[in-house]
Amino acid sequence: METTASNQAAETSFDAEAVRAEFPALTPGPGERGCAFLDNAATTQKPRAVLDALERAYVESYGAIGRGVYRWSAEATQHYEQARARVARFLGGAADEVVFVRGTTEAINLVAASWGGSRLRPGDEILVSGLEHHSNLVPWQLAAEATGARLAVAPIDERGEIELGEIERRLAAGKVRLVAVAHVSNALGTVVPVAEIATLAHAAGARLLVDGAQSVPHLPVDVAALGCDFFAFSGHKVYGPSGIGALWARRELLEAMPPWQGGGGMIREVGFERTTFADPPQRFEAGTPAGPEARALATALDWLERLGREAVAAHEAALLELARQRLAEVPGVRLVGSARRRASVVSFVLDGAHAHDVGTVLDAAGVAVRVGHHCAQPVMARFGVPATVRASFAAYSTAAEVEALARAVLRARALLVR
Amino acid sequence: MSDLDDLYQEILLDHYRRPRNFGPLPGADRAVDGHNPLCGDRLHIAVRLEGDRLAEIRFEGSGCAISTASASMMTEAVRGLPVAAALSLADRFRALVMGDSPPAAAEELGELAALGGVRAFPMRVKCATLAWHALRSALTGDGARVSTE
């Protein structure tokens, strides 16, 4: 045995190889080279159960959701509403508090346009952190521009943690109406103390939106325990299909929010003079819903809960620590971000080589990582790097993939840094 | 030679580590910023013309090995050329990295031919063409800023 980290990864009872066998994309055919897919913070591969659920939804009872009297439509509608209830249970909320959207980005844009557009006044502040993905930054810039509100930023420290003192200080001025933060940073893996921020925000009369895109796949999430007001996540990052995600919001907030898109499905009565709108959540779901995708998302959540969210989190944590150790052993590698609580993501630079060149060498070695600014340019600026290499883990990731990553980085160093 | 070795040839890495004509160009006639929003690479290309001739060219910025080496090699290749010849070279370079040029054409490109290895890496072609886009924009005067997107 070489290292304690390897031992820890091996000692967890979690059988990543068995999990892996459920993913057709990760099972190389005869003569094919397997891929160490370490770009899970961007998107995840799909288990057979999810692919089957999608196919069943299209084959067995496909019809328009909430718009027909025929059997297929009724069954499709039933599956869609069951999926809503499943998402609600997964997050610890109620079904009528869950709005289906295309993904986290659309969920945040919905809140920015509807809640922000109707509540924000000139002089109000929206407080984000220096960790945010562009999807939790740009919608607020747009809302600020439209309403005369101002965007304020709580900076991050040298570890890559949000400075809570700065959040308190900003809130104390009494102008912040909404705090919008990531639960887990996509660029650094920092786990943000959302429950503490919720307490601070509410004490100052502000609402809290949590971008859960990176937490839902990796941490148990309970919106009641977190105490947030809005929570957004994407299906495709949690083993589900693309094009589907959810916004959870407190019922009383949704009830007071105006529609943000108009169309079919979101109305009560339409006349040329006046239209009245459906109750939430339908009020926010204009157009024909993505029924099969919602159903397959529910299957993905079932699948993840069967594995056990705690067990998956422990497996990924062991891999993350192994990766940090292995990468730190490569001369010239500098890990970016050292938050005390972190999940699934390791970001690094190799001195003397640009992240894009490292990424190309890693790809040639069969290791798929993300290189670049990770749609988080302010984070890159904070650490003074134009780009990093990011490896991120999932339930099907293995210690062997981590070793392959470290070997490929050594190869990149030999090739690029001489 | 593997695709990877063909891409990261010693001459390319040498230009990456010791870029030629790197730094500000006082008295520049035209300057253009090139930006690849996908990866964040930024290049600033400045030129000084004497009549119809590209008398001086320098660049600044930060980027990957391919974009930096491409910019460095470009400055050496086009300095002293008439504008029309520089633009023609830009066309031939583009054909090389897009895989559109006949094999014999690479020989006429001299050192620049080393960047031909990028053909096997479609995601990296924009890195190689960034400096050339900026040069074209500077010479034809159709914009102060170019983007590969």
Residue B86 lies in a domain: yes
How confident is the model at residue A68, as a pLDDT?
Answer: 83
Residue (of A280, A279, A188, A285) closest to A245 by Cα position: A285
Q: How many domains does chain B have?
A: 1
pLDDT at A203: 98
pLDDT at B40 over 80: no
Nearest to A129 by CA among A206, A183, A203: A183
* Under 8 Å between Cβ of A298 and A309: no
Model confidence at B148, pLDDT cuts 50, 70, 90, reads: low
pLDDT at A386: 87
The identity of residue B66, as a single letter, is: I
Q: Cα separation of A81 and A85, whole Å?
A: 6
Greatest distance between any 2 Cα atoms in chain A: 76
End-to-end CA separation in angstroms for chain A: 32
CA distance B64 to chain A (A): 5
Q: At what angle do helices A291-307 and A48-59 cross, to 10 degrees?
A: 150
Q: Which of B2, B3, B4 would best serve as a mutation to test chain A binding (most A beta carbons within 10 A)?
A: B4
Name the residue facing A416 among B65, B123, B127 (closest C-beta): B65
* B45–chain A nearest CA distance, Å: 19
What is the rounded CA–CA span in Å between residue A174 and residue A139? 22
Considering only the C-alpha atoms of chain B, give the largest distance between any 2 of them, rounded to a whole number of Å.
45
* Cβ burial A149-158 (10 Å sphere, 16+ → b, else e): bbebbbebee
Residue B44, domain member (yes or no):
yes
Structure confidence by residue, pLDDT tens digits, A281-292: 999 999 999 999
DSSP state string for A198-265: HHHHHHTT-EEEEE-TTTTTTS---HHHHT-SEEEEESGGGTS-TT-EEEEE-HHHHHHPPPSS-STT
Query: What digits encode the pLDDT tens for the residues B112-131?
Result: 999 999 999 998 999 999 99
Cα distance from N-terminal residue to C-terminal residue, chain B: 32
Q: Which one of A360, A386, A416 has the shortest CB-CB distance to B121?
A: A360
Question: How are beta strands A345-350 and A207-211 bridged, if at all?
Answer: unpaired
Helix (H, G, I), strand (E, B) or coil at B123: helix
Positions of A marked catalytic: 375
Q: What's the rounded mean pLDDT across residues A211-232?
A: 97
Provide the b/e sequence for B22-34 (b: ≥16 CB within 10 Å).
Answer: eeebeebebbbbb
Residue B31 lies in a domain: yes
Query: Is A250 buried (19+), middle (13-18) or exposed (0-12) by CB count in 10 A?
Result: middle
How many residue contacts between A and B have a Cβ separation below 8 Å? 48
> A29 pLDDT band (50/70/90 cuts)?
confident
3-state secondary structure of B62: strand
Comparing alpha-carbon positions, the chain A residue that sits nearest to B40 is: A386
CB contact, 8 Å: A416 with chain B? Answer: yes
CB A296 within 8 A of CB A54: yes
Confidence grade of residue B147 (pLDDT, cut at 50, 70, 90): low
Confidence (pLDDT) at A1: 37
The CATH number for B128's domain is: 3.90.1010.10
Query: What domains, with CATH codes, occur in chain A?
Result: 4-34+308-416 (3.90.1150.10), 51-305 (3.40.640.10)
AA identity, residue A98: V
For residue B40, being part of any structural domain is answered with yes
Predicted model pTM: 0.92
> Which among A354, A377, A387 has CB closest to B65?
A354
| Contact by Cβ (8 Å): A180, A132 | yes
ipTM of the assembly?
A: 0.89
For residue range A76-127, what is the model confidence (pLDDT) as tens digits? 999 999 999 999 999 999 999 999 999 999 999 999 999 999 999 999 999 9
Helix axes A291-307, A71-91, angle to 10 degrees: 40
Q: Is residue B145 part of a domain?
A: no
Residue B149, domain member (yes or no): no
Does residue B16 lie in a domain region? yes
Q: For residue B17, which residues of chain A lie inside 8 Å, CB to CB?
A: 352
Q: In terms of residue numbers, what domain contains B98?
A: 3-137
Q: Is residue B42 part of a domain?
A: yes
